[in-house]
């Protein structure tokens, strides 16, 4: 396990766009996010290909990976924040310099499509990465909840998940411990097998999904694929996040339809991560504990920055 250094005010944060392009309204949203973070005492550095759209649907895989590699190499940059999500951050995998990341550990944060990168970087390097708000969302969220959660984790080193008194629903009782892994369901499903698969053994898996793009049947498809490939035979616990679909069908219902009564691990549900206004920051690769007997159902039990 490699811990990235804490973020301090005055530090430089590098902004990369490994997924969809920054075009149209996104440009001003990125600029607004930059103003917010700079007012808070940090410096912002844009990757050279941040606003590239060379493919017409995104920048090229090599451009994206070049930006990530250069940000890890840049001694002035102390954190790398992904600008937004999309569909194809996995295109960067074969062009990322994983040895360079090991030599230059830094905070690396994003969610949604960035799930591919955070999990693969952690798997390949041992670096603790983070599922948290994307940079653009700092400007587009209606509140500063998600930004404050990021600063709490990265600058203060807090292990607190979300805010006090947030609701946790117990789907299945139990106690479990394991390293955190996961993020967006559709992207996590893509990491189950193949060259860039990740290790689910003895992990606490956290999952959320964007209901606008993934209806209940497709979510079921992803979960059955994971079940058929042994994921739920390996994990120690499951933590369910945000999912909103016009049908009203909940992600926990879909999950339980898939799992049935075959598994004994504990399952908890909260609404403080995922495609929602309230995005806490979840470190990938550090240990957490689920204990459904306690008021706080899930706790991070290892430091995630140094």
**Which residues of the chain are in CATH 3.40.50.10740 domains?**
12-154
pLDDT, average across residues 220-247: 97
Sorted by sequence, the CB contacts under 8 Å of residue 263 that are 6+ apart come out as: 232, 233
Homologous superfamily of the 168-300 domain (CATH):
LD-carboxypeptidase A C-terminal domain-like (3.50.30.60)
pLDDT grade for 142, boundaries at 50, 70 and 90: very high
pLDDT, tens digit, 9 for 90 and up, residues 59-111: 999 999 999 999 999 999 999 999 999 999 999 999 999 999 999 999 999 99
Residues present in the chain in total: 306
Query: What does pTM read for this prediction?
Result: 0.96
- Nearest partner of 116 among 205, 202, 181, 22, judged by Cα: 181
- The sign one gets for the Cα dihedral 110, 115, 121, 123 is positive
Report the pLDDT value the prediction gives residue 177, as an integer from 0 to 100. 98
pLDDT, average across residues 138-146: 96
Report the pLDDT value the prediction gives residue 62, as an integer from 0 to 100. 97
pLDDT, tens digit, 9 for 90 and up, residues 13-45: 999 999 999 999 999 999 999 999 999 999 999
Q: Cβ–Cβ contacts within 10 Å for residue 41, how many? A: 12
Distances (CA, A) of 159 to 13, 162, 163, 304: 21, 9, 11, 8
pLDDT, tens digit, 9 for 90 and up, residues 145-171: 999 999 999 999 999 999 988 999 999
pLDDT, tens digit, 9 for 90 and up, residues 48-62: 999 999 999 999 999
**For domain 12-154, which CATH number applies: 3.90.220.20, 1.10.1040.10, 3.40.50.10740, 1.10.357.10?**
3.40.50.10740
pLDDT, tens digit, 9 for 90 and up, residues 245-298: 999 999 999 999 999 999 999 999 999 999 999 999 999 999 999 999 998 899
């Amino acid at each position: 396990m490699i811990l990235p250094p804490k973020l301090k005010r005055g530090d430089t944060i590098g902004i990369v766009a490994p997924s969809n392009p920054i075009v149209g309204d996104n440009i001003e949203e990125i600029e607004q996010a930059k103003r917010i973070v700079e007012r808070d005492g940090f410096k912002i550095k844009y990757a050279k290909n941040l606003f590239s759209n060379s493919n017409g649907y995104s920048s090229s895989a090599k451009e994206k990976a070049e930006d990530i590699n250069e940000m890890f190499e840049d001694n002035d940059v102390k954190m790398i924040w992904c600008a937004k999500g999309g569909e194809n951050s996995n295109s960067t995998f074969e062009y990322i310099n994983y040895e360079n990341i090991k030599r230059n550990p830094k905070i690396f944060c994003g969610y949604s499509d960035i799930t591919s990168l955070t999990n693969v970087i952690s798997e390949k390097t041992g670096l603790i990465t983070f599922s948290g708000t994307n940079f653009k969302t700092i400007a587009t969220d209606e509140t500063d909840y998600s930004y404050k959660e990021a600063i709490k984790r990265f600058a203060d080193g807090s292990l607190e998940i979300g805010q006090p008194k947030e609701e946790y629903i117990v789907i299945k009782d139990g106690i479990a411990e394991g390293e955190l892994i996961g993020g967006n369901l559709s992207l996590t499903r893509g990491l189950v097998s193949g060259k860039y698969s990740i290790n689910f053994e003895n992990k606490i898996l956290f999952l959320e999904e964007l209901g606008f793009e993934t209806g209940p049947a497709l979510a079921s498809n992803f979960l059955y694929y994971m079940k058929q490939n042994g994921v739920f035979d390996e994990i120690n616990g499951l933590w369910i996040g945000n999912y909103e679909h016009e049908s009203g069908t909940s992600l926990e219902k879909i999950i339980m339809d898939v799992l049935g009564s075959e598994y004994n691990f504990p399952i908890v549900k909260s609404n403080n991560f995922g495609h929602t206004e309230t995005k806490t920051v979840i470190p990938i690769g550090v240990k957490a504990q689920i204990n459904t007997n306690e008021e706080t159902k899930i706790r991070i039990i290892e430091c995630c920055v140094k």
